[in-house]
Amino acid sequence: MPNLQTALEHGLTEGEYNKIVDALGREPNFTELGILAAMWSEHCSYKSSRVHLKRLPTKGKAVIQGPGENAGIVDIGEGLCAVFKMESHNHPSFIEPYQGAATGVGGILRDIFTMGARPIAILDSLRFGNPQLPKTKFLVDGIVDGIAGYGNCIGIPTVGGEVYFDDCYNGNPLVNAFALGITKTDEIFKGYATGVGNPVIYVGSKTGRDGIHGAVMASETFTKEAEEKRPAVQVGDPFTEKLLLEACLELFKTGIVVGIQDMGAAGLTSSSTEMAERAGTGLMIEIDKVPRREVEMTPYEVMLSESQERMLMVVEKGKEKIAQDIFKKWDLDFSVIGEVTDSGKLVITDNGEPSAEIPINLISEEAPLYNRPIDRPDYMDDLNNLDMSSLSIPNDFNNTLLTLLSSPTLASKKWIYEQYDYMVRTNTLTMPGSDAAVVRIKGTKKAVAMTVNCNSKYCYLDPYIGAAIAVAESARNLACSGAKPLAITDCLNFGSPENPGVMWQFEQAINGMSEACLKLNTPVVSGNVSFYNETEGTAIYPTPTVGMVGLIENTDTHLTQWFKDEGDLIVLLGETKEELGGSEYLKQIHNKVEGKPPVLDLDQELKLINVLLKASERGIINSAHDISEGGVAVAISECCFTPKGPIGVEVKVPQLIRKDAVLFSETQGRALVSLNDQNLNKLKELTESLDLPMETIGRVSGTRLLIEDLIDIPVAKAYNTWAQGFENILKSYA
Amino acid sequence: MSKSNKYNFGIVVFPGSNCDHDCYHAIKHVFGQDCEFLWHHETDVDRFDCIVLPGGFSYGDYLRTGSIASLSPIMKSVEKFAQAGNPVLGICNGFQVLVEVGLLPGALIKNSSLKFVCKWVSVRVESTNNIFTENLKVGDTLDIPIAHGEGNYFCTSEELKELNDNSQVVFRYCTENGELSPESNPNGSIENIAGITNKAGNVLGMMPHPERCAEEIILGTQGRLIFESIISWLNLNKKEKGRA
């Protein structure tokens, strides 16, 4: 019989253990304790974040399904909807990068097709430590390989993402995987175990001992012994998931599915209890009926295994055979393992012997809820206090720009995205590297645009503004692609919630994100929280990653960031201010992460978004690119670096502020567009009517990257520096 | 090509095929032909005018690529279909299956970089002595995507000589200007080989994906030339040959 000590080893506190004993009126047995510890873990219960998450706006005209299901859903018209979610797989990816990242992709895809949608796109937000560390190369190789290995095999394109490098991720890389699928609004499936007497069915792979305690592991900080936890990482099998995907989509067409949920963190435990909780029912499970790949597994192990590629579903009683035939066709395991009851309990038997009996509401509703202490860290004042006068202004901006373009965060990520199949399904309308990924929806004129963003330096310097900027920049990225922003999903990656400083960052980030989402009318429809991103007591920068989805009604109007035609005018929308705090320039050139992040004016952002959307709809601009890390100088360069090679520019920018700020300031609410002369007046009318500053700064022309008085480099040289930068860093270990 | 003729294309679906829908879309919606998915357990393929083995990861590529799929029940029928002179097109994983089943010589091994590679490449047309490049000229270059981890074509020197002597090499990786160079070879294939046919010229295996460049909106259209060649050939030969 377990005792308090066993509970503590499962990550429960003494108070939590006592609560369990009180509620059950007895000591839990080992299986029950394992189930409760997993479901009460931070990862599954959101016990430290729930009180804050409530503040996020989750409703909107387009929202069909908000948070609480396997994924969020927004209406995209013509009877179709987009199903999407982003989820972290940080802890497993640090311990075993290939499998950790691969199963992160597998897990998020199941969340999408569980709801009846065929996944059509994957994006990834990746954050690594100092690129000079050999461990970083090991993680980059393994994580990229893992994402490629899974996504390529299952045949869903990885169409975009972001990659950052910073010392704060040395001991805690972040892997946030985003997926989106499309289904009809009247063909959505949810995780409800309804209909007393309906069979509960297990399908997919067999259950093994892999991943036991994954949810508990993801709820702890790391020590040097982290690698000993490798058995808690699951192993992915994308081939089986491909079969599961096709089998599930085939099954959904039969109309016999009552509810379905994938087995993710905490496996059979979470899928069964969450389905019963949503439906307000109970479940009886005969654990001995669960297909296994290993012998002599205990009920505890079967309930807590995180073996991948498994689903739990409830179908109409008497229709089991229909489902069974489909899974047989796809060579997948199929087993009726129990039934829906009205007991309000999860009852597990093993060969007829009682194995566990727990009230569903103890697992869910009565799970612990903490309002953790919050305290703004003392270091914030010093951190925000950047003395600009102490910063020397470089005398050779050519070198400064080249240094920035070759830096790991800004350099081309071709080495990464060429390992991903970004074209399969033949819907990808933009090459990777543009502001947003654009994927068409066959049979319509529509496309969805997707982007993932977070500048965690900003969040470190001011979590409120940093999180709000993550939302605003995402919306800007979509508008630059010609897409109307609809909604977001988020991955909230933070340190330990038991640290009041971290909880302050969390609270601030939620508030900032809420304000921006409300203003930009992009509610939060799904997401997850990943706490305990700490190793040896050092937390990551707060990293609330935003995945935003937008809609393009007519694919003819979609835009990319790249300049198109020689002679086109280049126009800067918005105004540049002297804002170098938290900039990439400050970090790469002056080796500082200090100051205040740029000011965010959400009214200005809305104006910019409206101008970009109207300009793309009316076909008066040929390209659009948002200005972010590296400022206007890096943005101009990126517009020149087209997938077909570099093209030159001759530009003159206003110089009313420090020259380094003219080039590298990261003022928000700006974008670069290019257009034909004949459309300039139309653009002027548009910006005047919406009261947005604009300035014509030059032309697409020649073979030089020329910013008058400041920068003059052969564009091919800048391009090569940028194109080779990332690979050169990786090669430098060899 | 005559608009009145519609042909029936069969797309074989193995467990793990993932370019089956892309081929279907191109053939059905871009070229307006009839098209059906064929589950790998099927054995009757007589109603088809052309069989396509699509790309993907049949059986997860967990053994040798294409090796388990080559044992699928449908492959015996595809072999007969090919032996009767009908067009069979294997793309990417489909090429790997054709090699495993013995309809084409050689093998496809891991890319020399040891990494999966997805990008646009150029290939040069080396032979028009077959069904699939009928509308092209020797020396033409096509911009076409590749996406594979094991596309490094390898064969014995005798096989290579035979391929060259019989004009069975249809595509070689090249620069944009049509030059063959080590830099333009994305995977280490022997003599930059990107696609080959059987001796009769009715079975083509190619690593690049023509179905991924059949529409302007997805950034390329030169893959159309291959499908159009098949349709032209069917227009010319269907009446004489009748169905297989």
Residue A50: HSE in the Cβ half-sphere, 13 Å Cα cutoff: 16
* Alpha-carbon gap, residue A612 to A621, rounded angstroms: 9
A18 Cβ contact partners less than 8 Å away, ≥ 6 residues apart:
none
Residue A232's pLDDT is: 67
Which residues does chain B have within 8 Å of residue A440's beta carbon, measured at their own beta carbons? 217
Query: A124: helix, coil or strand?
Result: strand
* Alpha-carbon gap, residue A483 to A449, rounded angstroms: 6
Take residue B37 and report the two structure tokens written for it. 């998915």
The mean pLDDT value for A27-32 works out to 94
The one-character DSSP state at A281 is -
pLDDT higher than threshold 90 for residue B4 = no
pLDDT tens-digit map of B114-148: 999 999 999 999 999 999 999 999 999 999 999 99
* Residues in chain A whose Cβ is within 8 Å of chain B: 145, 148-149, 152-155, 237-240, 242-243, 330-331, 417-429, 431, 440, 442, 555
Interface test with B, best of A109, A159, A423 (most B CBs within 10 A): A423
B116·A152 Cβ contact <8 A: yes
pLDDT higher than threshold 70 for residue A594 = yes
Cα–Cα distance list, A424 to A120, B57, B90, B138, B209 (Å): 9, 12, 16, 29, 10
Take residue A454 and report the two structure tokens written for it. 């977070």
The DSSP line for B138-189 is TT-EEEEEEEESS-EEE--HHHHHHHHHTT-EEEEEE-TTS---STT-SS--
* Alpha-carbon gap, residue A172 to A494, rounded angstroms: 10
- Evaluated on CA atoms B226, B231, B237, B238, the torsion sign reads positive
φ, ψ of residue A574 in degrees (nearest 5): 95, 175
pLDDT tens-digit map of A540-591: 999 999 999 999 999 999 999 999 999 999 999 999 999 999 999 999 999 9
A702 Cβ contact partners less than 8 Å away, ≥ 6 residues apart:
A648, A649, A650
Residue A365's pLDDT is: 86
Which residues does chain B have within 8 Å of residue A427's beta carbon, measured at their own beta carbons? 218
* Alpha-carbon gap, residue A240 to A208, rounded angstroms: 15
pLDDT higher than threshold 80 for residue A364 = yes
The one-character DSSP state at A198 is P
Degrees to nearest 5, angle at CA A293 with A289 and A298: 60
Q: Is B226 within 8 Å of B140 (Cβ atoms)?
A: no
pLDDT bracket for residue B244 (50, 70, 90) = very low
Nearest to B167 by CA among B144, B133, B190: B133
pLDDT tens-digit map of A232-273: 678 899 999 999 999 999 999 999 999 999 998 889 999 999
Q: A243 vs chain B: nearest CA distance in angstroms?
A: 7
Cα–Cα distance list, A511 to A378, A476, A500, A507, A544 (Å): 20, 20, 16, 6, 12
What part of B 112-131 touches A (C-beta under 8 Å)? 115-119
CB-based contact, B7 to chain A, within 8 Å = no
Which residues does chain A have within 8 Å of residue B113's beta carbon, measured at their own beta carbons? none
- Nearest Cβ partner of A153 from B57, B119, B218? B57
Catalytic residue positions of B, numbered: 92, 209, 211
Nearest to A89 by CA among A210, A179, A219, A177: A177
* Alpha-carbon gap, residue A264 to A96, rounded angstroms: 18
A155·B19 Cβ contact <8 A: yes
- Nearest Cβ partner of B118 from A240, A243, A420? A420
* Alpha-carbon gap, residue A543 to A458, rounded angstroms: 9
**How many C-beta atoms lie closer than 10 Å to residue B35's C-beta?**
21
Residue A231's pLDDT is: 60
Residue B241's pLDDT is: 47
pLDDT higher than threshold 60 for residue A69 = yes
Catalytic residue positions of A, numbered: 43, 89
Burial pattern A294-329, b for ≥16 Cβ within 10 A else e, equals: eeebebbbbbbbbbbbbbbbbbbeebbeebbebbee
In chain B, the N- to C-terminal Cα span, in Å, equals 22
- Nearest Cβ partner of B22 from A153, A330, A425? A425
Nearest to B94 by CA among B163, B147, B159: B147
E strand or H helix that includes residue A707: strand A704-707
pTM more than 0.80: yes
- Evaluated on CA atoms A441, A447, A448, A453, the torsion sign reads positive
Residue A212's pLDDT is: 80
pLDDT tens-digit map of A405-442: 999 999 999 999 999 999 999 999 999 999 999 999 99
Reported ipTM: the value is: 0.96
A423·B115 Cβ contact <8 A: no
Take residue B198 and report the two structure tokens written for it. 């059987």
Rg (CA), chain B: 16
CA A714 to chain CA mean position, Å: 37
Residue A233's pLDDT is: 74
Residue of A nearest to B209 (CA): A424
> Furthest-apart CA pair in chain A: how many Å?
83
Class of residue A355 by CB neighbours under 10 A (exposed 0-12, middle 13-18, buried 19+):
buried
Residue B2's pLDDT is: 46
A115 Cβ contact partners less than 8 Å away, ≥ 6 residues apart:
A65, A69, A70, A71, A73, A83, A181, A183, A188, A189, A190
Q: Is A551 within 8 Å of A439 (Cβ atoms)?
A: no
* Alpha-carbon gap, residue A505 to A498, rounded angstroms: 12
**How many C-beta atoms lie closer than 10 Å to residue A245's C-beta?**
24
What part of B 213-242 touches A (C-beta under 8 Å)? 214-215, 217-219
CB-based contact, B188 to chain A, within 8 Å = no
Residue A355 one-letter amino acid = S
Residue A168's pLDDT is: 96
Which residues does chain A have within 8 Å of residue B211's beta carbon, measured at their own beta carbons? 426
pLDDT tens-digit map of A447-482: 999 999 999 999 999 999 999 999 999 999 999 999
- Evaluated on CA atoms A94, A462, A603, A682, the torsion sign reads negative
* Alpha-carbon gap, residue A112 to A147, rounded angstroms: 17
A419·B61 Cβ contact <8 A: no
| Mean pLDDT of chain A, nearest integer | 95
Residue B1's pLDDT is: 45
Take residue A464 and report the two structure tokens written for it. 């409120």
- Nearest Cβ partner of A426 from B16, B60, B212? B212
Strands A353-359 and A310-315: unpaired
Q: A155 vs chain B: nearest CA distance in angstroms?
A: 5
Which residues does chain B have within 8 Å of residue A332's beta carbon, measured at their own beta carbons? none
pLDDT tens-digit map of A314-359: 999 999 999 999 999 999 999 999 999 999 999 999 999 999 999 9
A429·B62 Cβ contact <8 A: no
Q: A683 vs chain B: nearest CA distance in angstroms?
A: 26
B217·A239 Cβ contact <8 A: no
pLDDT tens-digit map of A163-219: 999 999 999 999 999 999 999 999 999 999 999 999 999 999 999 988 787 666 666
The DSSP bridge partners found for residue A569 are A675, A699
Q: B35 vs chain A: nearest CA distance in angstroms?
A: 17
Strands A484-493 and A524-530: parallel
- Nearest Cβ partner of B18 from A155, A237, A428? A155
pLDDT higher than threshold 60 for residue B240 = no
The mean pLDDT value for A49-69 works out to 96
Q: Can you list the alpha helix ranges (DSSP code H) found in A180-258?
A: 214-217, 238-252
The DSSP bridge partners found for residue A714 are A704
- Nearest Cβ partner of B218 from A238, A330, A429? A429
Class of residue B142 by CB neighbours under 10 A (exposed 0-12, middle 13-18, buried 19+):
buried
Interface test with A, best of B116, B176, B218 (most A CBs within 10 A): B116
Strands A80-88 and A174-184: antiparallel
Using CA atoms of B39, B43, B48, B54 in order, give the dihedral in degrees to the nearest 10: 40
Take residue A154 and report the two structure tokens written for it. 């299952």
Nearest to A219 by CA among A92, A108, A50, A104: A92
Q: Can you list the alpha helix ranges (DSSP code H) found in B51-92?
A: 73-83
pLDDT tens-digit map of A681-711: 999 999 999 999 999 999 999 999 999 999 9
Nearest to A346 by CA among A34, A5, A104: A34
pLDDT bracket for residue A537 (50, 70, 90) = confident
Nearest to A349 by CA among A38, A29, A39: A29
> Of A212-221, A319-328, A482-491, A643-652, which range is least confident?
A212-221
Which residues does chain A have within 8 Å of residue B215's beta carbon, measured at their own beta carbons? 426
Residue A232: HSE in the Cβ half-sphere, 13 Å Cα cutoff: 21
The mean pLDDT value for A716-723 works out to 98
* Alpha-carbon gap, residue A63 to A699, rounded angstroms: 42
Residue of A nearest to B147 (CA): A421
Rg (CA), chain A: 26
Take residue A227 and report the two structure tokens written for it. 């690698």
